[in-house]
A = this chain, B = another copy of it.
Amino acid sequence: MLSTYKESIDKALDAYLASLPNYPIYDPIRYIVSLGGKRFRSSLTLMISELFCGNPLLAINEAMAIELFHNFTLIHDDIMDEASLRRGHETVHKKWSNNEAILSGDLLYAVVNKLLATSEVTSSEIQTLFHQTAIEVCEGQAMDMDFENRSDVSVDEYLLMIKLKTAVLVACALKIGALIGGSKDIDADQLYEFGINLGVAFQIHDDILDVYPNHSSFGKKVGGDIIEEKKTILYISLLNNASKSEMDLLNKLYSSKAKNSEVIISEVKKMYEKYDVLSVANKEKDKYHLAALSNIENLSIDQSNKNRLISFAQDLMTRNF
A99-B80, A145-B99 known; A138-B117 Cβ under 8 A:
no
Complex contact B139–A23 (CB within 8 A)? yes
* Alpha-carbon distance between A16 and B127 when the two chains are bound, in angstroms: 20
Complex contact B79–A102 (CB within 8 A)? yes
Tell me which residues across on chain B come within 8 A of A117, comparing CB atoms.
124, 127-128, 130-131
Binary B-proximity of A83-103 (CB < 8 A = 1, otherwise 0): 000000000000000111011
Complex contact B145–A103 (CB within 8 A)? yes
A146 at interface (Cβ–Cβ under 8 A)? yes
Within 8 A of B (CB), among A37-80: 76, 79-80
Tell me which residues across on chain B come within 8 A of A100, comparing CB atoms.
145
Tell me which residues across on chain B come within 8 A of A142, comparing CB atoms.
23-25, 103-104, 107
* Alpha-carbon distance between A165 and B122 when the two chains are bound, in angstroms: 29
Complex contact A118–B111 (CB within 8 A)? no
> Which of A76, A80, A117, A124: most chain B Cβ within 10 A?
A117
* Alpha-carbon distance between A5 and B175 when the two chains are bound, in angstroms: 40
A113 at interface (Cβ–Cβ under 8 A)? yes
Q: Would you list 13 pairs from A and B whose C-beta atoms are within 8 A, ordered by A residue?
A: A24-B146, A76-B103, A79-B102, A80-B102, A100-B145, A104-B142, A106-B138, A107-B142, A111-B135, A113-B134, A114-B128, A117-B130, A118-B128
